[in-house]
Chains A and B, each alone.
Chain A
Amino acid sequence: MKSFIVKNFYILLGSSFIVGILLASCINGIFFDGEIKQTQAIYIDAYPVDAAPFKPSQSFWLGTDTNGRHLLHVIIEGAKYTIGLGLFIAIFRMFFSFVLGTIYAFHLQKYQRVLSALSNAFQYIPVVLLAYFLLRPVLNQAFEGFQYSFAIRVWYEIILLILLVLPTVSLVIGNEISIILRKEFIQSARTLGASSFFILRKHVIVHIYRRLLIIFTQQVIQVLLILAHLGLFELYLGGTKIDYSIMKAAPITTTYEWSGLIGDYFDLFIVYPWIPLVPIGAFTLTILSLNLIVKGLEKNMNSEPATHTKRLKQKEIKKVALKEFNFKVVTRD
């Protein structure tokens, strides 16, 4: 009983942080129109005594940035975009890799060596570098303004981030499936006349959904890491506005999305170290809680045997039995 609480405790702790910050972010977006509290200066008797940025203190929990925006508020407002994007991309990664992995496991086992060699070759290329190289021409604002519309830029980034890992993840999932397909009970199911789709639905998914959940969470972490890195290199979701005028303003994000915040604030690092550290810390906490979930899931997987194919209910068994035994007794003379 105690281990039951412990193993769920990890998942509980991790997911409560993520759900909590997402909820807060949505509430802020829906009920307060995504407004950010801003304090540009503190007045005592109509005289300004202090101006932004403020250090973290009791009245400003995480401090403020140079424009006086409260960083805690900024982080909460941006959470839904960043975490949402991470979940979104990871879901599609999983979906496509599952489809590809299934095809690989059921039909392409002949070409296993070629395919794994190809996907191995793929893993030697650092993803961040590749993503940066492919995204920069599209996301950066050229001197004459953006070449592509906002929607194209966003979808290009999302599709690219999905495609980049498909070879590796599909192979991982495909190998998991093919291990199960080699088991004896699959052979007997096939002998009894089960179609491939039936086997996938009734036998394979039941066995690997825990593993899939773990891979999914790891994918969310990976997406968040890539987003953070891209943000550091000043490639923001939906494009980087670059000010080409003489008074070079820093590149700006409009959604308070975390990776953009990292890029925005990073120039302030030496002067006001807490400002860039806040979005980086937000990323760190999110990844930490996702890792907690992974740990909980892994414990769950090791401690319990996989649930087997759903048992037929007692009534159905009787029905089947009746059908089978409903034969006429032929007596021979």
Chain B
Amino acid sequence: MKMNFIKNVVPLLLTICMIVVFGAIPILIVGTEIHVSAYLIETKNLILSLLHPHEITYYITKPERPLFPEIFNPYLYSLTVYFSAFFLSILLGLLLSFVTINFFSKSVKRFVSFLVFVLESLPDLFIVAVIQMGIVWFFKKSGILVMSFTSLPDERSYFIPIIALSILPTVQFFKMFMLSLEEEIQMDYVVFARAKGIPFIAILPFHVFRNTLMSIFYQSKSILWMMLSNLLVLEYILNMNGFTSFLFMYLSPELFVVALIMLLLPTYLLLLVFKICIKKLNNEEVVL
């Protein structure tokens, strides 16, 4: 039990250490000079302020304002968009791959895989820009504004950001599901179940899905971090007053460290829950 706990917490602590080490680097390297003593002092200050988070302030010009109750508003907004997009993309990926495997013929599948290839190589910047253009075009044609571009704290838009953020992960999940499902379908137990007369649609969710959990975990690890940087771009382009816009506006070493840790914690927690689920369901160990 104790061993397990250490295994789960050590990577988290390591990452936090790393973030703190990076936090003061702008002080360490100034042009071509290197100031080690100033760096050490700054690092000490960073650690001290992490221990007393209520004293952290943010400012562009004075007066300084306390960071902590203030930051939760944009933070919760961004997290909502982030996690809903993540779960939406898992659901959509699953749904689409089930549909493709069950109902589509071979030539359609080939076309789908081509489409996946193209979509996968599009940069997030392009996708978000095109979506925004689409909204403007739609507004010009029909007069219906799907999403307002000036988001105020009270009226925040969720629909379009979540959709825009979930496109790339959906494509990646879809691709991964297709690969592991096609591999899994040829296994003996699937053939056996089909021979017993269990319909294919019933086998898929209950048997095959469970066995692909491992690969979902590893994939979602990298997808979650990819989505974080997509979130930055999204908030910038769609003018959402989210967490990362806040971070960009008031960027300082303290804020950077705190913000990265705040982004790290929920994501890490989610992966941990995933890990425990896989352990309970399949009795398989995965590395965080």
Contacts and interface: CB of A to CB of B under 8 A. Distances in A.
Minimum-distance CB pairs A-B, first 7: A121-B14, A291-B121, A121-B15, A128-B229, A284-B126, A124-B15, A126-B229
Contacts of B15: 121-122, 124-125
A129 B229 contact: yes
B116 to A, nearest CB: 11
Given A133-B256, A134-B22, A137-B26, A229 B136 contact: no
A15 to B, nearest CB: 15
Contacts of B26: 133-134, 137
A281 interface: yes
Interface in B86-131: 117-118, 120-123, 125-126, 129-130
Given A120-B11, A129-B260, A281 B22 contact: no
B264 interface: yes
Contacts of B121: 284, 287-288, 290-291
B129 A280 contact: yes
Interface string B16-58: 0111001001100101100000000000000000000000000
Contact of A128 (B10, B120, B232, B288): B232
A194 B45 CA distance: 53
B37 to A, nearest CB: 19
A291 B117 contact: yes
A152 B31 CA distance: 7
Interface string A110-146: 0000000110111111111110111011100000000
Interface of B: 10-11, 14-15, 17-19, 22, 25-26, 29, 31-32, 117-118, 120-123, 125-126, 129-130, 132-133, 136, 149, 225, 228-229, 232-233, 236-237, 244, 247-248, 251, 256, 260, 263-264, 267-268, 288
Nearest to A124: B15
Interface residues of A, number: 43
Nearest to A123: B225
Interface stretch (A39-47, A56-64, A181-189, A270-278): A270-278
A284 B119 CA distance: 11
B126 A118 contact: no
11 contacts: A117-B10, A120-B14, A129-B228, A133-B22, A134-B22, A134-B26, A136-B251, A280-B125, A280-B126, A280-B129, A287-B121
A225 interface: yes
A125 B126 contact: no
Nearest to A262: B125
Given A122-B18, A130-B22, A281 B126 contact: yes
B19 A125 contact: yes
A288 B117 CA distance: 9
A283 interface: yes
Contact of A121 (B18, B125, B132, B267): B18
B264 A124 contact: yes
A102 B206 CA distance: 44
A95 interface: no
A228 interface: yes
Given A133-B26, A137-B26, A127 B229 contact: yes
A291 B120 contact: yes
